[in-house]
Each structure stands twice: as C-alpha cells, then as structure tokens.
A and B are shown apart, each in its own frame.
Chain A
Amino acid sequence: MDWQSIIIILCAVCVITGVIILDAMNSPSKYFAYDKDNRRHRMLRKGIIAFVSLVVFVLIWWNLSLLLDNPAIPTPQTTWEALVFLFQNGDSISGMSMWGHMSISLERFFAGLLIALAIAVPFGLLLGYSDTLKEFSSPTLEALRPIAPIAWAPIFLFTVGYTWGPILVVFVGIFFPVLTNTMFGVKKIDPNWVDAAKTLGATKVQTFVKVMLPAAVPYIMNGLRIGMGVGWMCIVASELYASFGGGVGYFISIQAQMGYWPNVYAGIVIIAILGILTTSLADYLHKVITRRMGIE
C-alpha cells in the first residue's frame, strides 16, 4: 500500500470513530451516558468534535500535497519540521527565531488596537451624542470607511516606516468597527436611563460619563470583537508589503521569495494560531465584561 491509500483509510476511520463516539454519547448507554446539562460532558463532546475536525483537515491536506506533488504544497510533516526548526534556530535570512517575528507582530497589533480604542471610543461617544458633529463628520467618514485598510499600507510604510506603518494599518482596520458600534450604542440607549439620571440631578457631563459610557460598553466590546478580527488580517497583510523590519507577514513574504515553502506554511500556521488566540481573547473579554455590566 502507498501513503495515499493509508491516509484515506485513516481519514475514514477517524470520521467513523468520531461519529460512533458522539452517537454513543447522545444516546443513553450504560458505558457512557452523555448528560447535556453537565458542563464537563459538553466540553468533552466539543473537544472530540474539534479534534476530529482538525485531524480530518490535516489528513486531507496531507493527501492533497502527495497527490499534487508540488513544492509549493509541502506535507504537514515537513511543515511541522520547519516549524520546530524555526522556533529552535530561526531562519537564515532575517536571522530571527519565530518567537521574534511573533512578538514583533503582536506588539504592532496591540499598539494599533490601543490607539484605535483610545480614539474611536471617545469619538464614537461624541458622534452618538451630538447630531451636529455627526452631520459634520459623516461625509468624510463615509468616504474613508469603504477603503480597505490594507490600501493604506504602501503609504503608511513609506511615510512612517516599517514599525509604525503596520500599526497604523491595524489602527485603521479596528477604528471603523469600534467607532460605528460605539456610536450605535449611544443611539440605542434607553431614553429612560438618561431621564432617570437627569431627575437625580446629573449634569450633561455626568450623564455622559455615568450613563452613556457604561451603557455603550457592550456595543464597544462588540466593535472590538469585530475589529480584532479585521486588525489581525491587517497586521499580516501590511507586513507582507514590508521589505524590512520583521513580523510574521514579513517572514512569509521573504520565505516565499526564496522558495522555502515549508517555512511559508509554518508562518501561515502561526498566523492561524495567533488569529484564533486574539479572537478568543476578544470573545472572552466581551463575555466577561457584558456579564459584569449585567447586560447580556
């Protein structure tokens, strides 16, 4: 038997056992009764599904790479070896380990995120509050909003360099979702809350700080959640443009130019993992904060 057949068989076995396990869990049995009210059971079930899903994905990839036999589609195995090597020794071109590239990308990502929050939240609150300011800003904002953030990359990289360029692209990517959602949050405030604050003697500023800001927080968090997904795409894409300065995107770009395909794939895997981590972080923050705020 050749490798391909083995993989196809493996794939089928994996799916079938997965289905059997899940079926056994869903139907009452004396060996393992799945209790959907039990948190550990639910998590176990989710874990099994996720694991099977990933295994099947890797097997399909493996099979495709053997089938197409193209250097630009390495097997998962060579990708894994490249990944391990990159973490241990780094790559010869940039002279940096994967940790270095990752920390550079993450630093830029969070810098862009913080700047976007610092500007978009107060601005969004004011836009929601003042119709005049909204009427004044809308034409410009509406003109800028449809531009893909990555379109700014060449300009930003040229004007502010390889560190601040990607940060600004991330900033643009996160800015708009946060701004729109914050503004929407203020518009959606229960007018009774504002009235209640007023009858308790709150001034305009106090109403703004003590009612409008907290009431908008769930919306701000939602904007943040969307923004973090966009921002992570922005950081990698803008680094692809750079011909200097490190970062995971930059790493992928130089490896592709040299034709080191397993390294390119290793970079892509890193992006995927960090992407999942940042979005789960956003989801987690959203959940914790909205719960703390008593709004769900």
Chain B
Amino acid sequence: MSEKIVINHLRKVYKTDEQETVALEDFSLEIQKGELISIVGPSGCGKTTLLRLIAGLMEPSSGEVSIGGKKCTGPGPDRGMVFQEFALFPWRSVRKNVEFGLEIAGVPAEQRRKTAERYIRAVGLEGFEDHRVHELSGGMKQRVGIARALVTKPDVLLMDEPFGALDAQTRNIMQGELLRIVEKTDTTILFVTHSVDEAVYLSDRIVVLTKRPASIKDIVDIGVPRPRDRASPEFIRLRKQILTELEDENVRPAVHAEALNGGK
C-alpha cells in the first residue's frame, strides 16, 4: 500500500469583477510516505491557498491532488488539517474534540473513546481529557488540534503555520513534540511556515516558493539526521541558503500603499 501523495500542476486563479489574480501557478510535488515537507515563501505568496487546495477546502482552477493514485475531490479525513488558530470546538472537552472525526465516521462510542485516549496520550495530554478548551494554554490547544487531526489516520497531515500563534519557547517545545509524534505514528506531513528556522529543524525537504503568483522556486533536501542542532554549521548554512533565496523573492516596493494609509 503505497500512499504516495501526488500534486499535479495545481493552479488557482481568483476572479473578481475587475481582474483575475493568479495565486498559484503550476505547483507539482510528490510526497513519499512518512515524509515531512515544509513550504516556505514570502508572506502573502499563497502558501495557505496551496494548503487549502490540497485539503479540498478550495477548488483548484486546474490540476489535481491524488493519494495512492486516487484523485481527491473535496475535503476528506484522508487529509487531516491543523490550523494556526487551532479551530477547536470550545463546546467540547478535549476528549470530545479528539473524538470528533471518529464520531463523523460512525465509530462506536467505546472504541472511539479508546482511540481518542491513545492519541491524547500520544500528544502528551493525559489527565486533561475532560478539560474545556478555554482552560488550556496555546501549546496544549495545538496538541489537541494535532490529536484531533491524527485520529482518523490521515494519509497526510496538512499544517497551516500550526505554531505561528505560540510564543518562541512553546514553539520550540512543540517542534520537538511534533517530531516525536511523527516518529510514533509515521505520519506524512505538509507543513506551511514562515519560519525558516522551524522549516530547517523539522523537514526532510523544504519547498521554497516564489512570491505571488506562487510557484516552486527550489526544493532543498535537508540531509541532516535528527535531532538537529540549531547551532551546527550545517544547520546554519542551510538556514542561510534558504533565507537568501527568500530575500531574492522579497523585492518590495519602496513604500507600500497600505503603509501610507496608516496600516490596514
């Protein structure tokens, strides 16, 4: 069972009355099972669009995503998603949040509970099963978000800047946790981030995008074994390489029209 994920010539055009904006241009990528791939790119380049297209939350203008040779249409539990703002259901307890996907799939209550407990343990939240979402810290919330997405055993976990809303320390802890969880569950991950450091720390491969319309500028193999040392010369070299590539893309106009209008 080779659950290879193939993204084929994905393209997205936003149409408004006045104009057409190309958000994503000809994106093709093959993701092997168990791989962790990060996507970095200039801000606003269409990283989130790409992830939403793969998740099926948006219709591509052309191109397709297929898993194990089967074309994906619409959203489904084969592609789990983790959101930057967690998107947990506040009216449900931790346990009930994690159980959501199983409930949808019609898994009987007892089995649901067992499976959910296994994943809650996997993300290190044992003892918090019956807590409400608002009682948890940001890092704990995202642990629930990851457990909730993993519980349906997706072929790929799509993570949209999952640690973007966390403080620097929690962020580092969560990165280590994610690697631990990946190792345990053998999950394939597509990870969008604006932090090059995070991308180099986590990924097997990094996809660098061009600015809008986004297309693949480069794919960098990170051959460094884990756990990675952020201070090692190899790590710093890779970081610098990717940062330089991004800077080349970030040729900004001298003054933003928005800045003149006072922010937004």
Q: Which residues from chain A sit less than 8 Å from chain B, CB to CB?
A: 190, 192-193, 195-203, 206, 210-211, 214-215, 217, 292-296
Contacts and interface: CB of A to CB of B under 8 A. Distances in A.
Most buried by A among B79, B89, B132: B89
A62 to B, nearest CB: 50
A195 B87 contact: yes
B83 interface: yes
Contacts of A193: 87, 89
A199 B156 CA distance: 11
Contacts of B80: 199-200
Interface residues of B, number: 30
Nearest to B132: A294
B104 interface: yes
B187 to A, nearest CB: 15
| 8 nearest A-B pairs in the assembled complex, by CB-CB distance | A192-B87, A201-B77, A200-B101, A293-B91, A199-B81, A198-B75, A294-B132, A294-B90
Contact of B81 (A190, A196, A202, A294): A196
Interface string B64-97: 0000000000111101110101011111100000
B134 A192 contact: no
A132 B229 CA distance: 57
Contacts of A203: 104
Contacts of B30: none
Contacts of B236: none
Nearest to B105: A201
A210 B132 contact: no
B57 interface: yes
Contact of B100 (A197, A293, A294, A295): A197
Contact of A201 (B57, B85, B101): B101
Contacts of B104: 197, 200-203, 206, 210
A192 B132 CA distance: 18
Interface string B91-132: 110000000110111000000000000000000000000001
A210 B133 contact: no
A193 B86 CA distance: 9
A190 B87 contact: yes
Contacts of B133: 294
B149 interface: yes
6 contacts: A195-B81, A196-B87, A200-B104, A215-B89, A293-B90, A294-B91
A199 B91 contact: no
Given A197-B100, A294-B133, A217 B87 contact: no
A193 B158 CA distance: 16
Interface of B: 55-57, 74-77, 79-81, 83, 85, 87-92, 100-101, 103-105, 132-134, 148-149, 152, 158
Contacts of B148: 196, 200
A204 to B, nearest CB: 11
A241 B84 CA distance: 58
A192 B85 contact: yes
A192 B103 CA distance: 19
A192 B77 contact: no
Nearest to A292: B91
Nearest to A293: B91
B97 to A, nearest CB: 9
Nearest to B145: A196
B91 A295 contact: yes
A199 B152 CA distance: 10
B264 to A, nearest CB: 19
Contacts of A200: 77, 80, 100-101, 104, 148-149, 152
Given A192-B85, A294-B132, A198 B57 contact: yes
Given A200-B77, A215-B91, 9 more contacts: A195-B83, A197-B104, A199-B55, A199-B57, A199-B76, A199-B77, A199-B149, A199-B158, A201-B101
A270 to B, nearest CB: 38
A217 B57 contact: no
B90 A199 contact: no
Contact of A196 (B56, B74, B83, B91): B83
A264 B72 CA distance: 72
Nearest to A199: B81
Nearest to A207: B104
Contacts of B100: 197, 200, 210
A48 B8 CA distance: 73
Contacts of B89: 193, 196, 211, 214-215
A295 B105 CA distance: 26
A199 B78 CA distance: 8
Contacts of B134: 294, 296
B88 to A, nearest CB: 8
Nearest to A289: B91
Nearest to A193: B87
A200 B74 CA distance: 12
B79 A199 contact: yes
Contacts of A211: 89
